[in-house]
Amino acid sequence: MVNVAAAINNLSFYQEDGSPIRRHQLAIAKLMLKLVFSSSMDAMLEATRVYGNLSQSKEVREFIVQHKVHRFTVTLLDSKSAEMCFSACGVLINLTLDPPNRACLSLEGASAKLLDCLTDLGPGDWQLAGHVCQAMWNLTGGCSESLLEAQESEWLLEILTTYSDEEEALKWIEDEDERDFHRACWELQFLPVAQKLMKALQRPDPTA
């Protein structure tokens, strides 16, 4: 079943209108429930990846929230696994396109867990760091919604300021080829969304 989920993940990544995956996306989402709530980490990972692809559809997003998959997705951010956190962020990025879901996810403590994920895993994986920042951006409606605690906002701004310094961001990478790869990921996938977040966090609060 895990292999089937992996195959579906690959196929669902390139969805086209009228494709079998698109036509049967709700049935596939139902099938993934058993895997995502299983005790197998491999099964959870593949199912989460599938949900990340399928949740581009509003119908699937509604299914995810209805069946409490969003709660489980938030807990995956505690896994300390870059791969698992990346997949969880993919689902969260799509779920937070719908404003009602932002409040639901905030109640589950999504912002604090995203912050922990960024702090613990970000410096070693700038693709993941960019994904976390995009999830945070969507979760807060571009920081226009008061879903972050003041302490969280301050901590996020401090982390982003540190990570936006190239020397600081790459200081642990000694191998030159690896350094070039990390720099490219940092510049292309992390920095643009990090700068956007920082700018929004530094805006004066109109309610103050």
State pTM to two decimals. 0.90
Q: φ, ψ for residue 111 (rounded to 5)? A: -65, -45
User: What pLDDT score was predicted for residue 206?
Assistant: 45
Q: Over the chain, what is the mean pLDDT?
A: 89
- pLDDT band, residue 208 (cuts 50/70/90): very low
Per-residue pLDDT of 112-147, as tens digits, reads 999 999 999 999 999 999 999 999 999 988 766 667
pLDDT over 90, % of the chain: 65
Per-residue pLDDT of 196-206, as tens digits, reads 999 988 876 54
CB 46 within 8 Å of CB 6: yes
- pLDDT band, residue 104 (cuts 50/70/90): very high
pLDDT-wise least confident of 12-16, 126-130, 191-195: 12-16
Q: Which amino acid is at 161?
A: T
Across 147-158, b (16+ Cβ under 10 Å) vs e yields: bbeeebbebbee
Q: Is a pLDDT exceeding 90 seen at residue 85?
A: yes
